[in-house]
């Protein structure tokens, strides 16, 4: 089977991800998988623009990622921008700088396309799961949920799906609601209320009523799985396929609410760079599980970046 070596840059509101992989018609085999907390979307929700410092952090990361992709022999590099770049009025400034300074051409994808590619990526190494399946991706600026029942006779990219995206994310709601350290009860309630209102408007209960398997992907959810296992060193093999229960999540949220930012940075499984926004991300997940009565979710290490490379291999 012919394979190609491609690289994907997933440029999120909070995190930039790099995946270098051998890609074939029906598989993606990772060579290098890396994340950097860039916080490109810091302040975008309130100001409507990317800040100069955030753009510089982004360009610096892109240059480093491009160098790694070339070192590892990537034939092509694909870059996708999500919530922060969808929202920022000055996004073209960043897009032009990325091309001029890092040689990267960025495609800004819609929330629906982000959801569909995350679904494909999350299922790229899974078979025989009970359907319908829902895949949830909690990002820094937005949350995507996509529902489908993959047909074994079809490519996952060709599967009929129902995909929706909402402007709630760990960075966005932290900036909107939390000013104190640790967060006050009314600040936690602010996150819950905004999350529930948006979820009720975005995902009618009937859309999710028959879902048999809920899969969670992306950094917020994989971090919560690492915290549930009290990982001293992040181990992708222990994250992939882990079942995170509603009870475990509730215990993590209690711990996060009780601790200052400095104390959260010491918690096993939690990257210090995520410590300021993880509470909001955890509450988004908890609200979803409670609202749509899911007792648990299956964790996937794979997501949007895998779906991007699958799509490119199919073209």
Helix/strand/coil for 82: coil
Decide if 159 is inside a domain.
yes
Strand order in the sheet with 213-217: 161-166, 143-148, 133-138, 213-217, 296-299, 243-245
pLDDT digits (tens, 9 = 90+) for 121-178: 999 888 889 889 999 999 999 999 999 987 665 566 677 678 899 999 999 999 999 9
* Residues 84 and 229 both lie in one domain: no
Question: Of 120, 122, 111, which is closest to residue 165 (Cα–Cα)?
Answer: 111
Q: Of the residues 75, 109, 143, which one is the last residue of a structural domain? A: 109
* Residues 30 and 18 both lie in one domain: yes
Decide if 193 is inside a domain.
yes
Q: What stretches of the chain adopt beta strand conformation (E)?
A: 4-11, 15-23, 28-37, 76-81, 106-108, 133-138, 143-148, 161-166, 213-217, 243-245, 296-299
Which pLDDT does position 21 carry in this prediction? 96
* Residues 194 and 292 both lie in one domain: yes
* Distance from chain centroid for Cα 28: 18
Which pLDDT does position 59 carry in this prediction? 97
Q: What is the CATH number of the domain that holds 97?
A: 3.30.420.40
* Residues 103 and 186 both lie in one domain: no
Decide if 18 is inside a domain.
yes
Quick check: 143 and 284 in contact, CB under 8 A?
A: yes
Decide if 212 is inside a domain.
yes
pLDDT digits (tens, 9 = 90+) for 285-306: 999 999 999 999 999 999 999 9
Q: Of the residues 86, 109, 132, which one is the last residue of a structural domain? A: 109
Q: How does the average pLDDT of the chain come out, rounded?
A: 92
pLDDT band at residue 313 using 50, 70 and 90 as cut-offs: confident
* Residues 85 and 134 both lie in one domain: no
Decide if 190 is inside a domain.
yes
Which pLDDT does position 258 carry in this prediction? 93
* Residues 59 and 93 both lie in one domain: yes
Which pLDDT does position 25 carry in this prediction? 72
* Residues 102 and 128 both lie in one domain: no
pLDDT digits (tens, 9 = 90+) for 199-244: 999 988 788 989 999 999 999 999 999 999 999 999 999 999 999 9
* Residues 180 and 293 both lie in one domain: yes
- DSSP code per residue over 245-295: EHHHHHHHHHHHHHS-HHHHTTSTT--GGGTTTHHHHHHHHHHHHHHTT-S
How far apart are the C-alpha atoms of 140 and 72, rounded to whole Å? 29
How far apart are the C-alpha atoms of 271 and 253, rounded to whole Å? 16
* Residues 44 and 193 both lie in one domain: no
Decide if 146 is inside a domain.
yes
pLDDT band at residue 197 using 50, 70 and 90 as cut-offs: very high
* Residues 138 and 275 both lie in one domain: yes
* Residues 12 and 150 both lie in one domain: no
pLDDT digits (tens, 9 = 90+) for 247-264: 999 999 999 999 999 999
Quick check: 301 and 118 in contact, CB under 8 A?
A: no
Decide if 198 is inside a domain.
yes
Dihedral angle, C-alpha 235, 255, 212, 137, nearest 10 °: -60
Which pLDDT does position 2 carry in this prediction? 79
* Residues 21 and 94 both lie in one domain: yes
pLDDT digits (tens, 9 = 90+) for 3-25: 899 999 999 998 999 999 999 87
Tell me the residue range of the domain where 100 lies. 4-109
- The dihedral built from the CA positions of residue 70, 119, 301 and 138, taken in this order, carries a sign that is positive
The answer to whether the predicted template modeling score (pTM) of the entire model surpasses 0.85 is: yes
Quick check: 87 and 48 in contact, CB under 8 A?
A: yes
Question: Of 195, 175, 161, 206, which is closest to residue 285 (Cα–Cα)?
Answer: 195
Domain count, the chain: 2
Whether the per-residue pLDDT at 79 is higher than 60: the answer is yes
Decide if 176 is inside a domain.
yes
Q: What is the CATH number of the domain that holds 201?
A: 3.30.420.150
């Amino acid at each position: 089977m012919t394979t190609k070596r491609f690289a994907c840059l997933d440029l999120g509101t909070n995190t930039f991800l790099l995946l270098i992989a051998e890609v074939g018609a029906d598989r993606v085999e990772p060579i290098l998988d890396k994340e950097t907390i860039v916080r490109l979307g810091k302040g975008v929700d309130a100001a409507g623009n990317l800040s100069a410092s955030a753009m510089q952090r982004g360009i610096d990361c892109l240059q480093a990622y491009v160098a790694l992709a070339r070192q590892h022999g990537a034939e092509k590099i694909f870059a996708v921008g999500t919530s922060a770049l969808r929202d920022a009025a000055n996004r073209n400034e960043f897009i032009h700088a990325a091309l001029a300074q890092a040689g990267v051409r960025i495609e800004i994808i819609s929330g629906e396309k982000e959801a569909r590619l995350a679904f494909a990526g999350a299922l790229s190494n899974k078979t025989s799961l009970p359907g319908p399946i829902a895949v949830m991706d909690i990002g820094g600026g937005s949350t995507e949920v996509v529902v489908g029942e993959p047909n074994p006779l079809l490519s996952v990219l060709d599967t009929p799906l129902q995909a929706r995206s909402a402007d709630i994310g760990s960075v966005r709601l932290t900036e909107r609601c939390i000013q104190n350290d640790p967060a006050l009860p009314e600040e936690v309630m602010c996150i819950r209320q905004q999350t529930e209102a948006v979820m009720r408007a975005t995902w009618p209960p009937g859309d999710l009523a028959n879902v048999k398997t809920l899969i969670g992907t992306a950094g917020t959810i994989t971090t919560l799985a690492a915290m549930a296992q009290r990982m001293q060193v992040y181990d992708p093999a222990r994250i992939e396929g882990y079942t995170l229960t509603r009870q475990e999540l509730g215990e993590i949220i209690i711990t996060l609410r009780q601790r200052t930012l400095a104390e959260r940075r010491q918690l096993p499984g939690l990257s210090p760079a995520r410590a300021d926004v993880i509470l909001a991300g955890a509450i988004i997940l908890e609200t979803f599980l409670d609202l749509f009565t899911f007792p648990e979710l299956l964790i996937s290490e794979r997501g949007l970046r895998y779906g991007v490379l699958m799509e490119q291999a199919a073209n």
